[in-house]
Amino acid sequence: MLNTFDILETIRMIQDECLDIRTITMGISLLDCIDPDIDKACDKVYDKITTKAKDLVRVGQQIEKEYGIPIVNKRISITPIAMLAAACPNGDPVKFALTLQRAADTCGVNFLGGYSALVHKGFSAGDMALIRSIPEALSRTSNVCSSVNVGSTRSGINMDAVKIMGEVVLESAKITADRQCIGPAKLVVFCNAVEDNPFMAGAFHGVGEPDCEIHVGVSGPGVVRSAITKYPDATIDELADVIKKTAFKITRMGQLVGARASKMLGVPFGIVDLSLAPTPAVGDSVAQVLEGMGLEQCGTHGTTAALALLNDAVKKGGVMASSNVGGLSGAFIPVSEDQGMIDAAIAGTLTLEKLEAMTAVCSVGLDMIVVPGDITAETISAIIADEAAIGMVNNKTTAVRLIPAIGMKEGEMLEFGGLLGSGPVMPINTKSPAKFISRGGRIPAPMHSIKN
């Protein structure tokens, strides 16, 4: 039997502590849309997406009503478009991006991810054309997201791709400079990208996945923060226990919503991604969870340890709550999307170097970080290489989503609005890595990649 305390706790989590389902994401394979004629391929892509996902938004809204929990985003992830572009070498890949935008508009989804290429060991047909088209594609669309995987633990890091991605990020910012440099906010450079990630901007539908499936991404930093502030004198292991129990409850909610959505849409249930994803809303901040553990401000000494504890406890609590856990699963640290991180960055407590260390123990990487507009492409590439190296060596996903603020200097702010928030321009190291980046080639896979 339900008791009053449990009922009121759930309602408090939703109403006061910003608990929500961050996203239900439908993964759709486009492998059956490949066609040597790019216009035909685009038609097939449009038809497939709008057929499979026609009820996604409606079902999402119905579940919101039924359970009384907000589902903030309804999204679609698709097969990396480079695989479709490979079949039409003379076509302009931007046509695919425009088709995807049209499909996203028709379905009413918030984001569509998968304008992507996987080049961790090298480029195959279609990859290079797609990567070069990313700035234009992101500039001419508003809801299409792009990602490129440049490294993996098994294959090493493709330094040619790293070099190019530095240029692509910078170019994306330049051609959207009149719109708060929004282009690169929709572009993620990965190492060890996962195939079933429901979170943007890095979502794509891997080739090992079924034709169509439903993933769920949960949220809930506000709930965790509120839970730990109730135990001001708890030891660290007691704190870990509190986080585990809270993560369990949050994830159960995700599991319930995913199972219901999968049944209503007649599509298999993929995974629950148990990520603590912050929003710029007051209290919904991962930085404030860390501060709640006893740090004066996020970014000070001790932050990496606190984040490691949080990341691990979230996984341990969540894993039992769901039959299939996947995606990125852990704590996200996107600077511009987290009020506590923004404050810490403005105060100078949180620096790029500290964030890099934090990415070794969090679920992803350097996320939504605004850098000065006069940054060079080589420096961006070098930041990507550093981050990919952390992922490669530590067997984890890492990513880079940097936004060069064209025409702006340290201390100024970019305002994206909505879930993307706003970010202060953070200082970078200005010594040149150009020679290292210009060498090209591949960083060999580490010793522990040889596992068989």
Sole window of 67-75, 91-99, 268-276, 347-355 interacting with other proteins (rule: CB under 8 A) = 67-75
Least distance in Å: CB of 2 to other proteins? 5
Q: Is 8 in the site for other proteins (CB under 8 A)?
A: yes
Least distance in Å: CB of 110 to other proteins? 21
Q: Is 253 in the site for other proteins (CB under 8 A)?
A: yes
Sole window of 10-18, 270-278, 298-306, 417-425 interacting with other proteins (rule: CB under 8 A) = 10-18
Q: Which of residues 69-128 bind other proteins (CB under 8 A)?
A: 69
Q: Is 434 in the site for other proteins (CB under 8 A)?
A: no
CB nearer other proteins, residue 54 or residue 252: 252
Q: Is 4 in the site for other proteins (CB under 8 A)?
A: yes
Distances (CA, A) of 443 to 149, 156, 424: 14, 5, 33
The residues, any chain, with a CB within 8 Å of residue 240's CB and separated by 6 or more, are 309, 312, 313
Q: Among 75, 244, 249, 396, which residue sits at the site for other proteins (rule: CB under 8 A)?
A: 249
Q: Among 193, 201, 256, 403, which residue sits at the site for other proteins (rule: CB under 8 A)?
A: 256
For β-strands 398-405 and 21-28, DSSP reports them as: unpaired
CA proximity to 204, closest of 340, 311, 100: 100
Total binding residues toward other proteins, as defined by CB under 8 A: 20
Least distance in Å: CB of 64 to other proteins? 9
Q: Which of residues 370-399 bind other proteins (CB under 8 A)?
A: none
CB 222 within 8 A of CB 17: yes
Q: Render the burial of 281-313: b for 16+ CB within 10 Å, e for the rest.
A: bebbbbbbbbbbbebebbbeeebbebbebbbbb
Least distance in Å: CB of 436 to other proteins? 51
> CA-CA distance, 318 to 324, in Å (whole number)?
10
Q: Is 2 in the site for other proteins (CB under 8 A)?
A: yes
For β-strands 187-191 and 212-218, DSSP reports them as: unpaired
Q: Among 174, 252, 316, 442, which residue sits at the site for other proteins (rule: CB under 8 A)?
A: 252
CB nearer other proteins, residue 57 or residue 393: 57
Least distance in Å: CB of 52 to other proteins? 24
Q: Among 7, 125, 347, 434, which residue sits at the site for other proteins (rule: CB under 8 A)?
A: 7
Q: Is 314 in the site for other proteins (CB under 8 A)?
A: no
Burial class (CB in 10 A: 0-12, 13-18, 19+), 279: buried
What is the dihedral sign for C-alpha 151, 29, 202, 398? negative
CB nearer other proteins, residue 5 or residue 451: 5
> CA-CA distance, 144 to 97, in Å (whole number)?
7
Our CA angle for 377, 379, 385, nearest 5°, is: 105
Q: Is 255 in the site for other proteins (CB under 8 A)?
A: yes
CB 219 within 8 A of CB 332: no
For β-strands 111-118 and 71-78, DSSP reports them as: parallel
Q: Which of residues 25-64 bind other proteins (CB under 8 A)?
A: 62
Residue 181, φ and ψ in degrees, nearest 5? 50, 45
Residue 131, φ and ψ in degrees, nearest 5? -60, -45
Coil, helix or strand at residue 45: helix
Q: Is 272 in the site for other proteins (CB under 8 A)?
A: no
Sole window of 8-16, 184-192, 301-309, 363-371 interacting with other proteins (rule: CB under 8 A) = 8-16
Sole window of 65-73, 225-233, 287-295, 436-444 interacting with other proteins (rule: CB under 8 A) = 65-73
Coil, helix or strand at residue 113: strand
Sole window of 31-39, 162-170, 253-261, 370-378 interacting with other proteins (rule: CB under 8 A) = 253-261
| Residue ranges binding other proteins (CB under 8 A) | 2, 4, 6-11, 15, 62, 65-69, 249, 252-253, 255-256
